[in-house]
Structure 1
Amino acid sequence: MDALSATLKVAASGLTAQSERLRIVSENLANAQSTGNTPGADPYQRKTIVFSAELDRALGASTVDVAAINRDPAAFPLEFLPGHEAADETGYVKMPNVNVLVEMADMTEANRSYEANLQVVKQARDLISMTIDLMRGS
């Protein structure tokens, strides 16, 4: 049973990490067009997530944890929108440094990883249930 509980803890840490990753991606997508409110103001800055492996000595296994949520230092693209409230004196508006295609790919990868961890939890739960059934039968 120890191996199964370790499996559940590792998979649960993966579920938590990928859930946080999906939240960050969703926030980036929601703000993909969020500009500043004043001329020349900085728009929304894309967030990135950093994972770290944490050794759980009691389990003898590594779990995943969110180490940091950072801001992407990439430059803000400029768009010529002279009537916009955030346009500078030349008519350019700083746009968020969010690339929707990159975010969608990140979302797909996070979703697949989340589903894989969920499948591990389901399998471990089934194995625990089968073990209990075998113990009852003895």
Structure 2
Amino acid sequence: MSLTNVFGIAGSAMSAQTIRLNTTASNLANAESVSSSLDETYRARKPVFALKPTEPDAPIENPDGLPAGQGVQVLGIVESDAELRPEYNPTHPMADEEGYVYYPNVQVVEEMADMISASRSFQINAEIMNTAKQMMQRTLQMGQG
């Protein structure tokens, strides 16, 4: 893998982590939203990542016998199928005919941990890009001397 590929790979990882951060922020913003029906209740969302493949003829560059990837791609965003939180509260203005309101299946502690992880992953990839840039600059300086 050439050093110039590092920028594309780290950049795709940073883009993926940005999507992850935005999804987590959306989950946290809707964590306490209330609905009067199961169908209208917000459901936690998670991005699905995959290895961005190389060309089909790419040489095998790792001991696993797999071709090296070219970064991260986001396949989509899926909704959690975890149970929603019904709460019996007949005095609530959003209560259904049985007296229930429904809260999202967002786990705030899990979302905060996910946010910290995504933020740290973004930061690490930014550091990787900076290190690669410094290495390229030093290589060019060697040619000048």
Instruction: Work out whether the TM-score is over 0.5.
Output: yes
Give the Cα separation in 2 of the matches to 1:110 and 1:10. Answer: 16
Give the Cα separation in 1 of the matches to 2:68 and 2:143. Answer: 27
Root mean square deviation of aligned Cα:
1.9
Question: Is the helix fraction higher in 1 or 2?
Answer: 1
Give CA deviations for 1:44-77 in whole Å, capped at 9, x if unaligned.
1111111010122379731111011011111211
TM-score (normalizing by structure 1):
0.87
Equivalent residue of 2:41, what SS? coil
Give the aligned partner of residue 8 of structure 1: 7
Give the aligned partner of residue 130 of structure 1: 138
Residue ranges of structure 2 left out of the alignment (5+ in a row): 60-66
Residue ranges of structure 1 left out of the alignment (5+ in a row): none
TM-aligned CA deviation for residue 134 of structure 1: 1.6
Alignment of 1:1-138 (within 5 A): 3-36=2-35, 39-40=36-37, 42-57=40-55, 61-62=68-69, 63-137=71-145
Equivalent residue of 2:138, what SS? helix
Give the Cα separation in 1 of the matches to 2:42 and 2:86. Answer: 13
Give the Cα separation in 2 of the matches to 1:53 and 1:101. Answer: 28
TM-score (normalizing by structure 2):
0.84
